[in-house]
Structure 1
Amino acid sequence: MRLGLRLFFAFFLINGLAAFFVLRVFMVEVKPSVRKVTEDTLVETAYALAALASADLAQNRFQPNQSGTFATQLSNYTQKPIQAWIWDARKTTLDMRITVTDAQGIVLFDSQGKDQGTDYSRWRDVYLTLRSEYGARTTRAVKEDESSSVMYVSAPIMVNGQIGGVLTASKPSSSVQKIVDSAEQKILRGGLLFVLLSAGVGCAVTWWFVVHVRRLRNYAQQVQAPTLNESAHPAQMPQPVAVPNMPGELGELAQAMDTMRKRLEGRDYIEGYVRALTHELKSPVAAIRGAGELLQDDLPTPDRIMFATQVVDQSLRLQNLIDQLLQLSRLEQRQQLDKTHSCSLMECAQEAMHALHGTAQQHGIALQLKGADSHGPWEAGLVTLAVSNLVQNALDFSPEDRVITLALSPHRITISDQGPGVPDAMLARLGERFFTTPRPNGERSGTGLGLSIVTRIMHLHGGSMAIRNLHPGLAVTLDFAPENQVTS
């Protein structure tokens, strides 16, 4: 399961469980709380009415032939119409029932006129009150129907300091059930809204977190390749990856990853150079050592000249390798160009041809320049160096009595030869450090750094290098970016 889904489900589960338990507590406590409030009200009502009924009970005004003030006032109170709004609940009837019993528990007065003369002495509320204890009970009018429950609270009627009777105030649970139902509905609606809001917040937090984690993942995936992308074609080198800007600890993690990347790149860079340089140095050093050991003996003049020449050639090869490595290292450390002067592609091409004119004559190869000149904010020395390296490669691989052509076009120069070309499978590797192909005469080719230098020069200019076979021959095209596209 993906990280985002795990976070969302964990967040939703925690909030769902919290909402469930909170709602359950509220739902469980609503009805008891309402009943507690109702009972508290009935207690105060019963004791207040008991005090008012004390005088009539003392004078026996609850007898059928008597008309006491208390009985007269309460006998018809339930018939009075009312219109009352209790918060959001509407009340239209009076549901409280008042009963008065004597000291034996016989009903003397019933506000509803139902149970006068009935013996209530066995009911828990009357029984306990007559014994100076708190008397209360809840009884169902219909045994199987909980909604028919009625709450009874009794208070003693004191006559001459003695309990002369009991006043009971009762109220059906159905009269407050509407309040309970309304409260439960509000709690359920609030709970549902809470769950939905929690899900929305969970989605938002999860989305925010996953987006930033994915940015970190993409950044890590993009920077895990070598800095100069040596394994890819030079024309496909990516731009440097920017460090993602993120808040808090994620931003600190991104900066730490970038620092780690730079350290690893520097280490890989040095290790790669050491391995490649060691590999390249093995052959010439071995050849120089072998020739030197043989020169210590007495050799015929032709052999001595041959081994001495070998020492000189291998030394020149080492010198060339070191010079090119230093040159490539300096280029890789540069971050921007010197754009103070405009550069002419034709002048750079002519300077490169002039420097290699003698070598071309020795090989019997003609150098031809054609096309229209173009100018741009390029560094002339680097452009000349790139063209010189490509012309030198063309000279190394071209047969005698052939032509090397330098074709100019807007922001572009193409160097083409008439040599054997390069196998198609190897085209993508041209430009890698120390990668070389065999020369037509079977001799060992150069250091494999020439095209790497060209690749870096084009990268600094924001341009590209494209290589293709001509059958016969090979063509290398350098595309220089216009002024508004030069990278730094």
Structure 2
Amino acid sequence: MGRLFWKFFFFIAIAQITATFGVGVLFWVENLERNNRNSEIDLSPPASFMIRSAAATLQFGGAEALRSLINEGRQHRLQLYAVDEDNKDLMGREVSPKLVEEARALLRTERERDRRVVELVRAANGHSYLMFIPAPSDEFAPGPGPGPGREPRHMRDRGPQPLFFPSMPIAVALVASLVFALLLAWYFSYPIRHLKNAFNQAASGNLDLELEPVMSSRSDELADLGRDFDVMTAKLRTLMESQRRLLHDVSHELRSPIARLQMAIGLARVQDKDKLDLTLERIERESVRMDKLVGELLTLSRLEANVPGSMEEPIAIQPMLADMINDASFEAGANGKHIEGHIDCRVQIKGNPELLYRAIENVLRNAIKHTAADTTVELHTQLDEINKLLHLSILDRGPGVPEDELNSIFELFFRSSRTKSNSSGHGLGLSIARRIIDAHSGFIRAANRRDGGLRVDITLPFMADEPVKGQTLES
């Protein structure tokens, strides 16, 4: 049992025991008060009527007439007492002092209903008689007084009755409280022990442990925590696998230019001066390729670590696209290709201008690279004023992408089967573009054109809209 179990058990048990004793004391006090309130004098309307009749009989007929009335009542098992100043009954019966004292207390009470069941009448013989009727009871005992009949239980001098504390109910409640506190503490601490073990396993590198099978029977917050742990470990496994795959792909991509550099250096050592310039040019080209790859990897690392820099700058997207088209036109024109832009998007986008420029440029240069000679790469923009979204489309006339690879072209180091043989890239441009677009709360997707070529659509939210006349840029 862990410390958490005993903490749960201790505080739950203390709360249960306190509640149990509190309820027990309340019942005890209530029972005490009820015992004090229970009257042994008959307070019913018939008793009140009988007392008034006896008072009239004593007042107008004397003690002998009252004695005859009491004897007649005893034949009907009705006990009426007439006690003088010395607490002696008119019929010579033994009367409990407690009963007499209660009758005198009722005589002094302010409640009219209680005063009617007792009467104090002064008789002709000079004695004052207090008359009352004991409360009815099912228990009778032989009485020492004269006359037929049996005496009620009020005649027995039982003495002071002990007041018992309800120890048995409290003991039962105490045992039940401890048992339920034990079960409740175990119910809470059991899944927490599994969570602790799972976190220890994850800290040691074992991410294969799942809590869903252990907590599948529960439907509380601890079960939700277990499911969240499983989701977390699944994402960690994916990230670690992605990291291993990235390291493998990077090492593979770097191995080829490094091997060519080493070969070129070896050739430079044995070649004559006439061929040395070609070898140095080869070394420079491979160095540029490696520098470009390292730069892309650094950008990718920043995006993966969620530290892309400031993402709060307002970006005027239309001037950015115009500059981008002008810069890319030189590359396209050198290869007999053209760029045509239809942009009408004088809006502002919140983000990082350098990263956003690079993302759109990667898509645009990828389209220029794969479009056929003497064809045109088109760039279109459209504004959704209702949802405040900018739709940017880049269309080429290249070989396109197989349908089953459309979702994969944005993955790291992926190159389509249709362009792998003649591609000089590393498969990072579109992957970086997707991560940058995601960082700007947008999304990117690709689709094949019906008449040949690839269409890449980028959607970005904008924050300011100042529509102006559209412009068409051609090259």
TM-score after normalising by structure 2: 0.50
Q: Distance in 2 between matches of 1:311 and 1:466?
A: 37
Q: Distance in 2 between matches of 1:313 and 1:424?
A: 34
Is 1:483 the equivalent of 2:457? no
* Structure 2 CA distance for partners of 1:482 and 1:215, relative to 1, 3 Å: farther
State the partner residue of 1:288: 261
Is 1:443 the equivalent of 2:417? no
State the partner residue of 1:351: 323
Q: Distance in 2 between matches of 1:481 and 1:14?
A: 57
Q: Distance in 1 between matches of 2:417 and 2:292?
A: 18
Shift of residue 321, structure 1, vs aligned partner: 0.3
State the partner residue of 1:322: 294
State the partner residue of 1:123: none
Q: Distance in 1 between matches of 2:464 and 2:232?
A: 26
Residue 370 (structure 1) aligned to one of 334, 342, 345: 342
Q: Distance in 2 between matches of 1:112 and 1:316?
A: 134
Residue 75 of structure 1 aligns with an amino acid whose one-letter code is R
Alpha-carbon contact 1:97-1:112 (below 8 Å) kept: no
Is 1:75 the equivalent of 2:93? yes
Is 1:401 the equivalent of 2:381? no
Is 1:453 the equivalent of 2:432? yes
Equivalent residues in 2 for 1:405-424, closer than 5 Å: 405-410=378-383, 411-424=390-403
SS at match of 1:429: coil
Cα distance per residue 1:61-116 (max 9 Å; x no partner): xxxxxxxx9686453969x999989xxxxx9635586768xxxxxxxx35785699
Shift of residue 426, structure 1, vs aligned partner: 2.0
State the partner residue of 2:364: 391
* Structure 2 CA distance for partners of 1:298 and 1:383, relative to 1, 3 Å: closer
* Structure 2 CA distance for partners of 1:416 and 1:220, relative to 1, 3 Å: farther
Q: Distance in 2 between matches of 1:281 and 1:450?
A: 16
Q: Distance in 1 between matches of 2:147 and 2:266?
A: 135
SS at match of 1:333: coil
Cα distance per residue 1:132-186 (max 9 Å; x no partner): xxxxxxxxxxxxxxxxxx999xxxxxxxxxxxxxx97479xxxxxxxx9xx99xx
Is 1:334 the equivalent of 2:308? yes
* Structure 2 CA distance for partners of 1:464 and 1:365, relative to 1, 3 Å: same
Equivalent residues in 2 for 1:54-203, closer than 5 Å: 73-75=91-93, 93=135, 95=137, 109=144, 113=148, 169=157
Residue 250 of structure 2 aligns with an amino acid whose one-letter code is L
Cα distance per residue 1:439-488 (max 9 Å; x no partner): 64712441222123222321232211121121421111111102189xxx
Residue 366 of structure 2 aligns with an amino acid whose one-letter code is N
Residue 293 of structure 2 aligns with an amino acid whose one-letter code is L
Alpha-carbon contact 2:409-2:416 (below 8 Å) kept: no
Q: Unaligned stretches of 5+ in structure 1?
A: 1-9, 42-68, 86-90, 101-108, 117-149, 153-166, 172-179, 232-264
State the partner residue of 1:258: none
Alpha-carbon contact 2:316-2:348 (below 8 Å) kept: yes
* Structure 2 CA distance for partners of 1:74 and 1:454, relative to 1, 3 Å: farther
Q: CA RMSD in A?
A: 5.9
Report the number of matched residues.
321
Q: Distance in 2 between matches of 1:448 and 1:75?
A: 119
Alpha-carbon contact 1:414-1:477 (below 8 Å) kept: yes
Residue 297 of structure 2 aligns with an amino acid whose one-letter code is L
SS at match of 1:356: helix
State the partner residue of 2:252: 279
Shift of residue 369, structure 1, vs aligned partner: 0.9
* Structure 2 CA distance for partners of 1:455 and 1:169, relative to 1, 3 Å: same
* Structure 2 CA distance for partners of 1:352 and 1:168, relative to 1, 3 Å: closer
Alpha-carbon contact 1:84-1:92 (below 8 Å) kept: no
Q: Distance in 2 between matches of 1:484 and 1:92?
A: 96
Q: Distance in 2 between matches of 1:111 and 1:310?
A: 142
Q: Distance in 1 between matches of 2:221 and 2:136?
A: 64
Residue 462 of structure 2 aligns with an amino acid whose one-letter code is P
Residue 430 of structure 2 aligns with an amino acid whose one-letter code is L
Residue 427 of structure 2 aligns with an amino acid whose one-letter code is G
* Structure 2 CA distance for partners of 1:308 and 1:226, relative to 1, 3 Å: farther
Q: Distance in 2 between matches of 1:335 and 1:218?
A: 33
Cα distance per residue 1:224-252 (max 9 Å; x no partner): 5659x9x8xxxxxxxxxxxxxxxxxxxxx
SS at match of 2:361: helix
Cα distance per residue 1:314-352 (max 9 Å; x no partner): 322211101222333445412542425x5033x222222
* Structure 2 CA distance for partners of 1:286 and 1:84, relative to 1, 3 Å: farther
State the partner residue of 2:387: none
Shift of residue 404, structure 1, vs aligned partner: 0.8
Q: Unaligned stretches of 5+ in structure 2?
A: 1-8, 41-83, 107-112, 116-132, 189-217, 384-389, 466-475
Q: Distance in 2 between matches of 1:293 and 1:450?
A: 32
Alpha-carbon contact 2:444-2:459 (below 8 Å) kept: yes
Alpha-carbon contact 1:394-1:416 (below 8 Å) kept: yes
* Structure 2 CA distance for partners of 1:307 and 1:226, relative to 1, 3 Å: farther
Q: Distance in 1 between matches of 2:425 and 2:146?
A: 121
State the partner residue of 2:445: 466
Equivalent residues in 2 for 1:214-363, closer than 5 Å: 216-217=225-226, 220=229, 223-224=232-233, 274-297=247-270, 310-331=282-303, 332-334=306-308, 336-340=310-314, 342-345=315-318, 347-363=319-335
Shift of residue 375, structure 1, vs aligned partner: 1.3
